[in-house]
């Protein structure tokens, strides 16, 4: 059956054995052996033949290709819709987490700022002759110095992120609400 299919498909494509052999980078006699049933191509060559003849391997092997029915296509479309809805829900859940994380980050920055303002840099009055106090005071000063410079940038970025995720959340929730009646 394979031998007959190769010959019939080759002829239907208007190719000679020599032309097909050139496309496959083999000798013409190999094509002749396949078409006469004296040998069969290996799996890699079968794939190459299918590509050269622009025909599925299943057709070369003699299998009938069953066209999907309209009901099958509808079922596939419904499954894809469910998968898309699940992916949208996962994305919305992830956006909610990011939104909450950004709100928490803003709250933490505000709390730390309030604490630093309330304690009013106590390390400035410490006795730095004691090595432990000096190390702790220097570390506290570095933290305060970095925080004062980085916190406003992080706070602005977090607030911007909150507004962005809020807009995306409301948009994705609106899209999910519109899809729900179609199920």
Domain ranges of the chain: 2-60, 70-182
d(CA 6, CA 24): 13
| Phi, psi (rounded to 5 degrees) for 65 | -90, 120
Answer yes or no: are the C-beta atoms of 55 and 9 closer than 8 Å.
Answer: yes
d(CA 135, CA 126): 11
d(CA 62, CA 162): 60
72: tokens are 């099958």
d(CA 123, CA 144): 11
Q: pTM of the prediction?
A: 0.49
pLDDT tens-digit map of 27-65? 999 999 989 888 888 888 888 898 999 988 888 887 654
pLDDT at 147: 94
Tally of CA atoms within 13 A in the half-sphere of 90 that contains its CB: 6
Q: Which CATH class is domain 2-60?
A: mainly alpha
d(CA 66, CA 88): 33
pLDDT tens-digit map of 69-107? 566 677 777 877 888 888 888 888 899 999 999 999 999
pLDDT tens-digit map of 129-172? 889 889 999 999 999 999 999 999 999 999 999 988 887 656 55
């Amino acid at each position: 059956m394979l031998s007959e299919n190769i010959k019939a498909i080759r002829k239907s494509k208007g190719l000679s054995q020599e032309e097909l052999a050139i496309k496959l980078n083999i000798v013409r006699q190999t094509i002749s052996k396949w078409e006469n049933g004296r040998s069969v191509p290996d799996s890699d060559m079968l794939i190459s033949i299918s590509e050269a003849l622009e025909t599925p391997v299943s057709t070369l092997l003699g299998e009938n290709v069953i066209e999907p029915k309209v009901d099958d296509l509808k079922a596939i479309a419904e499954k894809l819709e469910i998968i898309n809805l699940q992916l949208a829900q996962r994305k919305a859940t992830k956006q909610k987490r990011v939104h909450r994380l950004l709100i928490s980050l803003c709250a933490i920055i505000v709390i730390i700022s309030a604490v630093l303002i309330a304690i009013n840099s106590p390390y400035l009055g410490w006795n730095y002759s004691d090595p432990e106090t000096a190390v702790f005071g220097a570390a506290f000063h570095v933290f305060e110095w970095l925080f004062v410079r980085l916190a406003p940038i992080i706070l602005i970025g977090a607030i911007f992120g909150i507004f962005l995720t809020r807009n995306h959340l409301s948009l994705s929730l609106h899209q999910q609400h519109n899809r729900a009646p179609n199920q």
